[in-house]
Chains A and B, each alone.
Chain A
């Protein structure tokens, strides 16, 4: 399932900004289905870089290290809910600058 989620995420990101509205419902539906299977997908794009956030694997470009933000997401964060317990199954792979 993890690979399927990554593919969906890639497809979503390939769609041009201007065409995105056309597909919103379809992607909402897909992520809804993943959630039904217990997978929570989080796209951390635009978030401030936080060294405590171990759900992301950051590639940091900015050497001076101030006001860092996630500018590109290659893979999203995925959590899996098993009963009452939630566990991280994939770290997001991101670029920070």
Chain B
């Protein structure tokens, strides 16, 4: 049989919902604002019904339209007059709104049964009123559970505690606005609230106010040179009310921070400068002492009236945000000398417990409920016509919805990122709503339509409005626009700045670093090469649309490797490319506009690119070609490259004709052919090598776990899908090199590998060493050490041989300096 699974904490100040799933409890976050708790507050403003954070926010401004703490009036005949809609409402009506809001957190399918918690003090009438609210919110089955029991269940289940012996627990619930303490008997897996005590007007907010009055005000009075600040903040027509609001927020932050630190600093921005002061935990503890004592007194009186000794309490479980305060926990520990259990989040403990209970409670067959006189009749599904602009440049965009058949009900539009919510708004047939847009982003909205009983009849999740991303009148880019940058293996690759089909005009700022040191006057240069084509192809096979060489002579001072380089790219609608380069550390700023008529190409660069391609064909070609016809095509390409290089030599002094552009075009076409012939195969070979190295390291780690190597390995293979699918040979090669480094490290973990290394050094020609006689002695000693397997000696000899070498061998796996100077 199916279980209820959903647990709801319907609190006086805050509420929340959780679900028991696969042995665990998941607390739902509010899809609007993403918080786990929902303030139990309802407000009416501008024809909207707001529930939660936004409703609470209106408390100071329009208190007559805001309704909170209605749980205290549950089951009473108290009526609230809602002037905005000229109707009377009860605590049940407001609870229904809060419950509906909570049920919407769970998404679809909507929960049809739930466990709802009630205070231990609730009698039959209040309990039934809570049940009625549950049914009116659309639940078919409601099971009530006392809050202290829920808290005990949360602690017991989360820690898997055995409850088979009789024990007594205290549930100490110190929340934002109320304090409750309950005595619970646990007997053979049965929990019962024996008695409870409480104060409905004692909570965290009182502490915030105390901090303001007694810790903040004296310091501020002195620093601001005024008196009676507290009265001037909270009294009638208070001139410092704004300061009060700001300080209340600061007090709450400081209070939270004091749970972690011994001292916190409070800063205040005043028109005449900053005010800073510190609050110590000691002063804070002294301040709240009296409030905590009040709770201790209530707890002791609870124990006394039930004739229970302090020692008979097995543990005190904590509930409510105020119990985060270390002083509260310490005082409880001192006063009752028992285990103070703070092992779970006290602010969600009740919903966690309710959900655990719901996870064990079977659904009952549907019953006929007399408590729900306003239950909604079935409403047929509705069709809606929606009108809105898909692309917008405005901060708000109009969404119009039209329903057929004179429909009357409510609508609610929310942005799926949790930043916008219209609340429930009544409408007839048609609505217009200006929705707020996040700038330069895709804004996804959800629309829900409810009938007059607030039962949902329609849901649409595909409303998408792009802000600022597309200029409707602009043309799309025909190709990617990319910047050529150095990799760490001595070659270059393309980083995409704008992608094909982005709409003009475009602008983007990127930050790069210098990949090599360029000394002033050294003859080297920093190259900014912007190309148009395909980002995954080799840089030289794309068309150069912007090229800047900053020579070492132009640099005001030396440009050091690692220096930040800011580059701003703009492509106008008429396809001008504007590049602004700014190197802050040397104060260099260059702005250049490129357009079709001022295409710049460099003989030196064309030559280097052709030579690289030639080298590649000669070096890698034989390994990458499979057929005779491919071999023949490659040979033809090789010859054409050589011919082009010869033409380039003759061109060197020609600055007048456009031969250079012609050569550049031919180079691009030629290299595109080389690319299409070799690239896919090369990619395949590289990915194969990557996978085989990865498998080798993984197997090694399985046989011989090594935390350090595993960490480096995990970092190297992170985002694997991204770089393997990037089509960027450079990126894959850099990863292969990282894995090779790890393989080398694994290899040298085995001492025998040093014997092999010794013989490698021993076979190097003696002419390469500085002192042949010393070398001879070292080789003899090394051979003896190898025979004896004296690895420490072998390692020491290798080091000495290395030091004797005239030219030290290069580390083939070392990061290479760039050729462009930009990475």
Q: Which of A's residues lie within 8 Å of B, judged by CB?
A: 10, 13-14, 25, 28-29, 32-33, 40, 42, 50-55, 57-63, 65, 68, 72, 74, 77, 79, 85-89, 91, 93, 95, 97
A-B contact count (CB 8 A): 102
Contacts A79-B438, A86-B441, A88-B33 given; indicate if A93 touches B46 (C-beta within 8 A): no
In the complex the two chains form, is B423's CB within 8 Å of A86's CB?
no
B419 CB contacts on chain A under 8 angstroms: 53-55, 77, 79, 88
In the complex the two chains form, is A51's CB within 8 Å of B423's CB?
yes
A to B CB contacts below 8 Å, 29 in the list = A13-B269, A25-B566, A32-B509, A42-B439, A50-B436, A51-B58, A52-B420, A52-B422, A53-B419, A54-B33, A54-B54, A54-B418, A54-B419, A55-B420, A57-B53, A58-B57, A60-B61, A61-B60, A61-B245, A68-B61, A74-B246, A77-B419, A79-B417, A86-B416, A86-B441, A86-B442, A87-B417, A87-B418, A88-B34
B164-198: CB near A (< 8 Å → 1, else 0) gives: 00000000000000000000000000000000000
In the complex the two chains form, is A97's CB within 8 Å of B242's CB?
yes
Contacts A25-B566, A57-B53, A79-B419 given; indicate if A40 touches B441 (C-beta within 8 A): yes
B246, B422, B582: residue with the most chain A Cβ atoms closer than 10 Å:
B246
A42 CB contacts on chain B under 8 angstroms: 438-439
Q: Which residue of B lies closest to A88 (CB)?
A: B418
B267 CB contacts on chain A under 8 angstroms: 10
In the complex the two chains form, is A14's CB within 8 Å of B584's CB?
no
In the bound assembly, the distance between CA atoms of A52 and B242 in angstroms comes to 23
B248 CB contacts on chain A under 8 angstroms: 59
Contacts A40-B438, A65-B62 given; indicate if A54 touches B32 (C-beta within 8 A): yes
A10 CB contacts on chain B under 8 angstroms: 267
Q: Which of B48, B62, B242, B582 contacts A61 (CB 8 A)?
A: B242
In the complex the two chains form, is B34's CB within 8 Å of A60's CB?
no
Q: Which of B53, B58, B274, B439 contacts A54 (CB 8 A)?
A: B53
Q: Which of A29, A50, A65, A86 contacts B417 (CB 8 A)?
A: A86
How far apart are B64's CB and chain A's nearest CB, in angstroms? 11
B673-703: CB near A (< 8 Å → 1, else 0) gives: 0000000000000000000000000000000
In the complex the two chains form, is B420's CB within 8 Å of A72's CB?
no
Q: Which residue of A lies closest to B436 (CB)?
A: A53
B249 CB contacts on chain A under 8 angstroms: 59, 74, 93
Q: Which of A32, A68, A89, A95 contacts B34 (CB 8 A)?
A: A89
In the bound assembly, the distance between CA atoms of A97 and B245 in angstroms comes to 11
In the complex the two chains form, is A14's CB within 8 Å of B274's CB?
yes
Within 8 A of A (CB), among B726-764: none
How far apart are A70's CB and chain B's nearest CB, in angstroms? 12
Q: Which residue of A lies closest to B55 (CB)?
A: A51
**Interface status of B277 (Cβ within 8 A of chain A):** no
Q: Which of B436, B438, B566 contacts A52 (CB 8 A)?
A: B436
Q: Which of A29, A74, A85, A86 contacts B511 (CB 8 A)?
A: A29
How far apart are B31's CB and chain A's nearest CB, in angstroms? 9
Contacts A51-B58, A65-B62 given; indicate if A32 touches B53 (C-beta within 8 A): no
**Interface status of B45 (Cβ within 8 A of chain A):** yes
A51 CB contacts on chain B under 8 angstroms: 45-46, 48, 50, 54, 57-58, 423
Q: Which of B61, B242, B274, B416 contacts A65 (CB 8 A)?
A: B61
B453 CB contacts on chain A under 8 angstroms: none
A87 CB contacts on chain B under 8 angstroms: 34, 417-418
A55 CB contacts on chain B under 8 angstroms: 33, 418-420
A79 CB contacts on chain B under 8 angstroms: 417, 419, 438
Within 8 A of A (CB), among B780-820: none
In the bound assembly, the distance between CA atoms of A57 and B242 in angstroms comes to 15
B418 CB contacts on chain A under 8 angstroms: 54-55, 87-88
B50 CB contacts on chain A under 8 angstroms: 51
In the bound assembly, the distance between CA atoms of A72 and B33 in angstroms comes to 20
In the bound assembly, the distance between CA atoms of A86 and B32 in angstroms comes to 12
Knowing that A40-B438, A85-B417 are A-B contacts, what are 17 other residue pairs whose CB atoms are under 8 Å apart, sorted by A's residue number? A25-B582, A28-B509, A32-B511, A42-B438, A51-B45, A51-B423, A53-B420, A54-B32, A54-B418, A55-B418, A59-B60, A60-B57, A61-B241, A72-B246, A86-B442, A95-B242, A97-B242
In the bound assembly, the distance between CA atoms of A62 and B218 in angstroms comes to 27
How far apart are A13's CB and chain B's nearest CB, in angstroms? 7
Q: Which residue of A lies closest to B246 (CB)?
A: A95
Q: Which residue of A lies closest to B34 (CB)?
A: A88
B274 CB contacts on chain A under 8 angstroms: 14
**Interface status of B480 (Cβ within 8 A of chain A):** no
B32 CB contacts on chain A under 8 angstroms: 54
A72 CB contacts on chain B under 8 angstroms: 246
In the bound assembly, the distance between CA atoms of A82 and B61 in angstroms comes to 36
Q: Which residue of B lies closest to A47 (CB)?
A: B395
In the complex the two chains form, is A91's CB within 8 Å of B33's CB?
yes
**Interface status of B495 (Cβ within 8 A of chain A):** no
Within 8 A of A (CB), among B218-272: 241-242, 245-246, 248-249, 267, 269
How far apart are A11's CB and chain B's nearest CB, in angstroms? 11
How far apart are A81's CB and chain B's nearest CB, in angstroms? 8
Give the 8 A-B residue pairs with the shortest CB-CB distance, closest first.
A55-B419, A88-B418, A60-B61, A59-B245, A86-B417, A54-B421, A88-B419, A65-B61
How far apart are B479's CB and chain A's nearest CB, in angstroms? 24
In the complex the two chains form, is A60's CB within 8 Å of B53's CB?
no
How far apart are A37's CB and chain B's nearest CB, in angstroms? 13
B422 CB contacts on chain A under 8 angstroms: 52
A29 CB contacts on chain B under 8 angstroms: 511, 564, 566
How far apart are A22's CB and chain B's nearest CB, in angstroms? 12
How far apart are A1's CB and chain B's nearest CB, in angstroms? 16
How far apart are B84's CB and chain A's nearest CB, in angstroms? 12
In the complex the two chains form, is A86's CB within 8 Å of B438's CB?
yes
In the bound assembly, the distance between CA atoms of A51 and B566 in angstroms comes to 40
How far apart are B695's CB and chain A's nearest CB, in angstroms? 28
A54, A63, A79, A89: residue with the most chain B Cβ atoms closer than 10 Å:
A54
Contacts A25-B584, A32-B511 given; indicate if A52 touches B421 (C-beta within 8 A): yes
Q: Which residue of B lies closest to A59 (CB)?
A: B245
In the bound assembly, the distance between CA atoms of A71 and B242 in angstroms comes to 11
In the bound assembly, the distance between CA atoms of A59 and B439 in angstroms comes to 24
B60 CB contacts on chain A under 8 angstroms: 59-61, 63
A32, A53, A55: residue with the most chain B Cβ atoms closer than 10 Å:
A55
A60 CB contacts on chain B under 8 angstroms: 57-58, 60-61
B584 CB contacts on chain A under 8 angstroms: 25
B46 CB contacts on chain A under 8 angstroms: 51
A33 CB contacts on chain B under 8 angstroms: 511
In the complex the two chains form, is B436's CB within 8 Å of A88's CB?
no
In the bound assembly, the distance between CA atoms of A42 and B60 in angstroms comes to 25
In the bound assembly, the distance between CA atoms of A29 and B332 in angstroms comes to 49
A97 CB contacts on chain B under 8 angstroms: 242
In the bound assembly, the distance between CA atoms of A28 and B508 in angstroms comes to 12
A58 CB contacts on chain B under 8 angstroms: 57
Q: Which residue of B lies closest to A52 (CB)?
A: B422
Within 8 A of A (CB), among B479-495: none
In the bound assembly, the distance between CA atoms of A57 and B564 in angstroms comes to 37
How far apart are B432's CB and chain A's nearest CB, in angstroms? 14
How far apart are B308's CB and chain A's nearest CB, in angstroms? 43
Within 8 A of A (CB), among B436-479: 436, 438-439, 441-442
How far apart are B170's CB and chain A's nearest CB, in angstroms? 34
In the bound assembly, the distance between CA atoms of A63 and B62 in angstroms comes to 7
B416 CB contacts on chain A under 8 angstroms: 85-86
How far apart are B502's CB and chain A's nearest CB, in angstroms? 17
B23-66: CB near A (< 8 Å → 1, else 0) gives: 00000000011100000000001101010011001101110000
In the bound assembly, the distance between CA atoms of A40 and B419 in angstroms comes to 12
B113-145: CB near A (< 8 Å → 1, else 0) gives: 000000000000000000000000000000000
A14, A58, A68: residue with the most chain B Cβ atoms closer than 10 Å:
A58
